[in-house]
Each structure stands twice: as C-alpha cells, then as structure tokens.
Structure 1
C-alpha cells in the first residue's frame, strides 16, 4: 500500500542517520541521504527495476543499488542490520524525538546513561542536563516540545500515507460482487493532517463477500476482530483499518455518521431532536413513530434539518452550522479550481526530476501556468550561482509555449536570512517572474527576531509568497516561535501571499493558522513544493487544508487567471 520507493527511501535515510550517529564518514551519510530522496521522488516503481535501472536514478551508485536489491529481495539489508546492532536501542528511541538529533542523543546516552524517552524526561526535570555542553535552557525546552509532539502523534500517520492505503482498500472492495458503494470516512475524509485509523464503508445487502475480501487483502497482517457488520484489520505497516458494511438505503446516514467529527455530529443530533427527529448511522427517523424520514444521501439529511450540505472538511464544529443557517457558509475552493503550481524544484538544486519532465507533468495536469522556483545561493549545499539561474531562465523561456495552453513562470525560492535579508539584490530579483521566500535555518532565534525577520521579507517588494511560513514538519519539527498575527498583518499590508505547502509532511500553513490569517485579509497560494514529478499530485492535500481553513477561490492566487495573477506578482501589485 505504501510505494516501494517510499519504503526504500525510509530505509536509506535511516542508514544515513545511523552512519552519522556512529561517527562515520559524513560524505557517506550525505550520499545515502541524496539517494534516499532521489528514490523517493523517482516516478518508476523501484521494485520493477534491475541493477542497471536502479543505477540510472540520480545519486544511486553500484553499492546503494545492491542494498536496494537486497532489501527488495529479502526485506532487510545486512549492512543496515549490522549498524543498527552497533547502536544501543535506547539511542535509536531517543532519535525518534523531533528536535533531538543523533549526536545529542548519543551524548545523552554516553554521559547520563539515558536510553528512553521516560528517562530523558526524568533527567530534564531533575536538571541533570544543565552541565552538558549544548544542552542549555532553550535546547531543553525544544526537547520537551519534541517529546510532546511525539506523544501527541502516538500511532497517527500522515494524511498522504493514510490516503494511499484507503484508496487501495476502496479500489479492492469496490470490485467485490454485491458491493453497491464503497468509500472512506472519518478524519481522512475530513482531510485532517494526521490519521489514527482508517474507516472504510461498504453498501451491500450481504456483508459476507466484502468481509471475506477485506480479510484477504494482500497487506493484511492481522485480523483484529471480525463480525457481520464490522471487521478490523492491522496492515503490515501497523495501521488499523475498520470496515463497516451498511444497508444500501442507509448509505448517506452511515457516511455522515462515520465521517464526523464527533462534535459536528452532536450538533446535528441536537438539531434533529429540535425538529422532532432522531439521527443515527441508519437514518433520520421521526421521533414519535420511529418511521424513517431519509437516509440515502447526506444532502437529504442536511436538507431535512434545514441546512445545505456541509463539505466534510468543514465539519469540525467551528461555526459551520451557524454559518449554514445564516446562508454564510463559504463555497470552499476545489482542486479543479487550481490553475497552476507556484513553488516547485528541479534537479538544478535539490529536486530529482529535470526541468523538461516537471514541465511536461504539469502540462498533463491541465495547468494554465506553472512556476519553476529553484533555490537561491544562500541555502546550504545548493551551490546556486547567478550564471546557473540565468541559464535556467533561458531554458524556461525556450520551453514556454511548447505545451499549448500552459505558460511558464521563472522564479526562485529565496532564503530568508537571520536578519530578514535575501539571497540576491533587488535589481537581480526584478528579473524573476515571482519570488517565494522561506525560512530554512536559524529556527531558534527569539520570538522578536523571528517575527522581525519574516516581516522584513514581506516588506521586500519582490517577494510575492512566503513559503511554508511556520517551517514545521509534522511529527518531526515544531513550527518556529514567531508572532504570526503580526506576520499575517504585514502580509495583508504588503500584499504578500502566504503559502499552504501541500507536502503531507508540512501542510504549512495549517488550518487553524489559515483561519487566523484569513481574518487579517491575507491572500494564499496552495503549492506543492514538488521536488519530483510524483510530488505534483500532493496538490490535493493542500486544497483539503485550504478547505479546512474556509478558503474560497477568491482567497487563493493560483486559482486566478494568469493576467490577474501577474498583476498580483508585480512589485506593488
């Protein structure tokens, strides 16, 4: 259910971390990191490639290809197993804490004999870290926040990984004889950024064929519970999937009930009672007679309660029912409204797909425009130069018009320096069609410094979009501590858009920040930050997050026609 490429990417990244922990060759660790990223972003399923095919992937040499083949053949890599064995299990547990790197984990183990999250918490509370070099008050606060993130995540997985599993299960069950309808529900349908378990619904008169097929899915590791109406399995990756089979005429009620949220459903049940009904997963019933009123579709249930249909992404009890009653529910944007992607990378910097392939893949998505925004020179390891970016501009201009109906924009992703400074002077920036500016370093500055840094970037007339504004990586790195209300106000004042980065590991801005920023009058850009052609479909997750933030087409600049977008992108536009 997870692409083999992603499994191999995770393994190689782990090996890179293990090499770094053991004090191995830094060049070797970096080589495995590069290979991991290249394989994760490679469009072809690596399990179908031979040694020669693997070595044609950028940054994958003979030694790495052999390890990939070994993993695909046996499910393990001896070199990785040996390196794991050389590192205490406690250190590996500590590395799972966001914000705590491998070197600091090893220091804690060797100096304080800390080998678990619980022991680390005790050591912090007992102030035993105070005398360790590099473990000052701020570092300890960051570690505590990382532990909080780890505990909050629990067994939850990222939206993108859950979606891959759910769509494969739905596809398999939809083909089962007697299945009239099939779909996923729960927090996945509401496009929450992390998912605990997956709810799949089937409409069928006879539940047995669906239950049988469900238990026999190729990635089923364990049948947790099996019944006539509900069966739960655990996949080989440890994810729980629950299947419920509903009578076909109860589909709408079941879909509504199992989509949630719990708080939204409580509001609906309260409304049902006031209207003389009783609402359950089987339908909307007259309270006195018990006779079914409606149940087949969500739309007709909402209508009976005097409401328009409310999109699943809004069902969080954040005022959506009151807005619906007043006729003020927003017509949230849809993926089909997106006219182009304004933040993407190629293999000129840290992407793994070439310019031509990225442009062709964007054209296949039917975009009206597409921006290439490779990194500027101040970002570590990118080695960008004026000459390289200008040569790329010539290539972009030459490709513009090759794919009929799609225009190309040449941009860059600038690095916002510690003082809010940018990589190139204004006169050089004036040559780009658009500039995205992002924070990539110095995350631990003070709140005032980080706020001033972002505001200064907004105030540069050439900066059109602030990329992944909080810098968070879900479950791995917390967002920076800036006064974002001040940043949002600056964006509204200067006409700078805020990015909703669609990568499932970021989804930055998140929905709550979007709601706050929208109140300031900010405009947004939903972008993939794609580093490969396989990342371009991540747009759906950014759109889902934008919907959760109640955004309409008018709020999102890359739903606009090109002429209107160009006016916005112009300095002072």
Structure 2
C-alpha cells in the first residue's frame, strides 16, 4: 500500500486547486501546494504523527498540521469536503487538462456551462471559446492538445514510479510464499516504459494455487477480477491491474521472454524461430516437427538458440535491436551502478524540501564519488535567490566538502533561460560555479523559431554545460516545447553542452525517442535526479532506464566519468567570449 505521505499530498494538492478555482487568495493556495510537496517528499511516514511532529516538516504550519491529523484519523478533511460541494465536479474534471488552469476552468463552466472534458472538446471545435476574455485561437489549440495528452495518458496508465512501487511490493510478498523458485515483474515495466497500463508478474513454481491465493489476499488488493489455475488478475487500491502467471521452473526463461514483450519484438523472434524450424511460446523453444523442447530455462538460452545474444529488456521495442544483435553490435548499456554522481539537485534554499546537509548526507549514503547542488538562480522570482545567498551556500558547501573525503562536492546553479536566451547572472559571476545547468521554466508559448533561438543562445554561453529537462514536458500534464530540437541537438554537439535525461518520473526528459535522435548528433548526456528531497535521489533509476531505452552507453553519459575527466568537460570552452 502507498505511504500515508502520498495520500496526504494528494488531498492537500486537491485543496490547493479548489482554493484556486474558487478565486481564493493565491498565497493560501501556494501554502497548501508547498505543504503537499513537503509531506510527499518527507522521508519519514507521517502516519501516526501528531500536530507537533508534522509542524517540524518545512512548510507545514499549525492549521495545515491539524487538517492532516484530521485526515489521518478519519480519512477526510471537513474543509475539503465543503469546498468540493461548492465547486461542481465538472470543473474539477476540467483542471486535469494540461494547459487549462483552475480559473479558466471556472470561467468555462460559468460562461458556457461546460462541465466535462468531452463538452470542452466539442466547444473548442465549435469555436465557442474564442469570444471569451482571455481565450483565443491559440488557447483553443493548446486546450485541444492538452485534451489529447490527457486521453493518451489515461486509460488506466500510471507513471512508472507508481507501478514500480506496487510491483516490487507484490514480488517481495510472493517470494516469501513456500515453493517459490523465482518471481519477477515483466511486461512494459521491465522494459522501463514511462507509463504502465498493467503489471505482469511471473512466478516459477511447481504448484500455482498458493500464489494465486496469496495475490488475492494481499492487503493492497482491492478487487479480484479473475482467479484461475493459470492466471489470476486483481486490481489494487491504486487502480492498477496486476496479472499473475505461474510457470513450471523449467519454462522460466521462455515465459519471461514472452511476457516481457514487446509484441513487435516477439513477432520478430518468432519469425526467426520459424526460419530455423522452431516454435517459440511462453513454455519454451521447441522443434516444430517433433515438439521437443530445445531451450526454455533461461532467456540467455532462448536467445542463444535463435542466434542472438541476450537482449536487454529496455531495447525490446523492435527499433533495430534484432538486427544489431545478429550483427553482434548491441551496445553495452549504461547501468545505475555506472553513475558516479548527481549533477542536478536542490535544497531548501530555493524550492527543495531538505537542507543542504541532509541532501549531501543522503548522496554520500548512495556511494557517489561527486555530487552537485544546483539551486535556482534569481530569475525565478518566487525563489528569492540573491548573489549573497548563493555565495553563502558555496561557503557552507566547501566546508562540508572538507568533511566528506570520499565524495567531492560541486557547487552549481540551475539557471533560467529567459525569453531571449539570456541567463540570470553575468558571465564573470557564472565563472565561479563548478557546473551550470540551464533550463526553460516559462514562456512556453513562444513561436517555434523563437524557442529554438532561445535555447540555442543559452547553449552557446560557455558556462552552460548541461541543458536541463530540455523539452520541459510533464508526462500527461504538459506537452514538450514546440521547438526545432534537431537544431538544438546540433548546437549542443557544437558547443559541448550535455543534454539532461531528467529522472523525475513526471518528466523523463529527454524521452527515449529524443535520446535516440540526439545521439546521432554526437552529443553527451547527463542522467540527473533533479531531486528536491532526499527521497527523490533514487529516482535516478528511472532516468537510467530511459537512457537504456535510448541505447546510451556509460561513455555517452558525463556523470559516469571519473571526476578529472568530468572537470575537463565542465571547463572546456570557458575561455571563449
């Protein structure tokens, strides 16, 4: 089951949205948003905490703490219930559309009576919105795109992090059942896709019954959809469908290969089997004429009899991996253990949730050789950053660096790329940082030409060494920038600017397809967590998975390099004006 922290985060964020919809004070909505993020990212479980314990979490005052205690005791918050009653459910549905804010949703409801996403799409197509104040033809285009994003992200699909948490709990529970030889998740989750429709779990055992019963009885199982001898399907409290199959131990490799997919990859492998006079199924690779099994126990064995090396699951998308395998040209993919440090993280000096010392200690516990702190620069006004504050942080970081002998600390900043491509601080000030990440945070509505010039100009600054979350997308919530990214990738290759693979599950930016495109230009990459809390540092696994889907090797990724090589990369080009 999910931690109480996530449940509290969701209800507080909903209340912040309800305040914004009703036209309440902006500072009050922001206070609840900040408290929601703080509780969601808090390392300790808030279940059982009292008001005093909750108030120790940054951003949680007495009033919010009291509401959290009310929720933890009763499963509801009176004020939130009353706010829900005052605001039509249809309006709450509308704010799920990316690019459509709470106040515009309320205007659409009050002026046009729109109370569902379907009604909104119909109104846009009928051009009924463009006469409203604050709306126009471009707004209509953005809303339609947002509806499309919402629908494509819907259909029961969830972020990989949600599915992974659920899958790992289930696998751990089934491994504890007597008679379990092996247990693993498969499907799109094993291939590290960014969103997951359902979870496939496989068990190798002689008897299926105990595992089918165990899955149905798990505390997180909300509904048993089907319960049989070969397959059991349940729905969890998170709304995810989980399909369990129990295989004979001798069929484990064939079953794992089959249920990992993808469908297109499996079609390719079956065709190879047919050409070799074989038949491939979830039970094994067998002789087509005699039915005798020739390979089944391990995936390596199955692929080997097909004349292929073992193909890492993230590559199994029918994007050339079969041909590369036949030629002996599969890449040796980057692994999480290759990552020597994180180059994009935040503290509570800006919008992070944990102090500098806690973030550094958590990074050291991960065994990093180096670690960069990159708080926001002053152009994001809500962060209230100043030169004095960032220099004071540098002094604290240098003092910590002397105490962490096994891990070098780098002082950096995340710069905001302005509408014209300008940055927050002048070059002489930027020269004092070990690493500068530059990212777009606003004005997403510029023309494609302006956006492209803007990003390219930032990359041409000699102090910018990493382009942060390059497309700015938020999965299911905000589309990527409408820029010419081939021109951006070419500029990054020319200027020696690494492209970030942002590991936050809501971003995974660059995505795998963009990585594949960018790699052809010869660019380097940085896989970073963009952590705003100590609990976010492990998100790196999702960035690594995305990088693997983009066929990246360790040498492609700058934060797999030894510190001396990384420093040379970060310093390269700084002499140019």
Shorter-chain TM range is: over 0.9
Cα distance, 1:239 vs structure 2: 1.1
Report what 1:505 is aligned to.
Answer: 506
Query: Aligned residue for 1:232?
Result: 233
Separation (CA, whole Å) in 1 of partners of 2:363 and 2:276: 49
**Residues 458-496 of structure 1, C-alpha deviations (whole Å, 9 max, x = no match):** 000000000000000001111110000000000000000
Q: How does 1:76-475 map to 2 (within 5 A)?
A: 76-154=76-154, 155-475=156-476
Contact 2:48 2:72 in 1 (8 A): no
- d(CA) in 2 for partners of 1:117, 1:21: 16
Deviation per CA, 1:7-50: give whole Å up to 9, x if none.
21111111101001111121111110110111111110111422
Count of equivalent residues: 573
TM-score (norm 2): 0.98
Q: State whether residues 337 and 553 of structure 1, in contact with CA within 8 Å, keep that contact through their aligned partners in structure 2.
A: yes
Deviation digits for residues 68-118 of structure 1, max 9, x if unmatched? Answer: 112122222111111011101110111111111111111111111111111
The whole-number CA distance in structure 1 between the counterparts of 2:27 and 2:177 is 51
The within-5 A match list for 1:474-493 is 474-493=475-494
In 2, the alpha carbon distance for the partners of 1:65 and 1:292 equals 62
| Aligned-CA RMSD value | 0.8
Instruction: Give the distance between the partners of 1:79 and 1:249, measured in 2 at CA.
Output: 57
CA distance in 1, matches of 2:381, 2:286: 63
Tell me the residue number matched to 2:75.
75
2:383 aligns to what SS in structure 1? coil
Question: What aligned pairs does 1:48-63 form with structure 2 within 5 A after superposition?
Answer: 48-63=48-63
In structure 1, distance between residues paired with 2:469 and 2:137: 27
1:365-422 CA deviation, whole Å, 9 max, x = no partner? Answer: 0000000000000013100000000000000100113223100000000000000000
Contact 1:462 1:571 survives alignment (8 Å)? no
Is there any run of 5+ residues in structure 1 with no aligned partner, and where? none
Tell me the secondary structure at the aligned position of residue 381 of structure 1.
helix
- Structure 1 residue matching 2:382: 3-state secondary structure: coil
Matches of 2:166 and 2:255, distance apart in 1:
21
The farther-off stretch of 326-335 and 68-77 is: 68-77
The answer to whether the 8 A contact 2:369-2:408 is kept is: yes
1:571, distance to aligned residue in structure 2 (A) = 4.2
- Determine the C-alpha separation between the residues in 2 that align with 1:33 and 1:358: 22
Q: Contact conserved, 1:2 with 1:161, CA < 8 A, in 2?
A: no
- Say whether residues 1:37 and 2:30 are aligned partners: no
**Does the CA contact (< 8 Å) of 1:437 and 1:457 recur in 2?**
yes
Q: Tell me how far apart the structure 1 counterparts of residues 253 and 247 of structure 2 sit (CA, whole Å).
A: 10
Deviations 1:193-217 (A, max 9, x none): 0000001111111111111110011
Unaligned stretches of 5+ residues in structure 2 = none
Match of 1:28 in 2: 28
CA distance in 1, matches of 2:234, 2:123: 39
Residue 6 (structure 1) aligned with residue 12 (structure 2): no
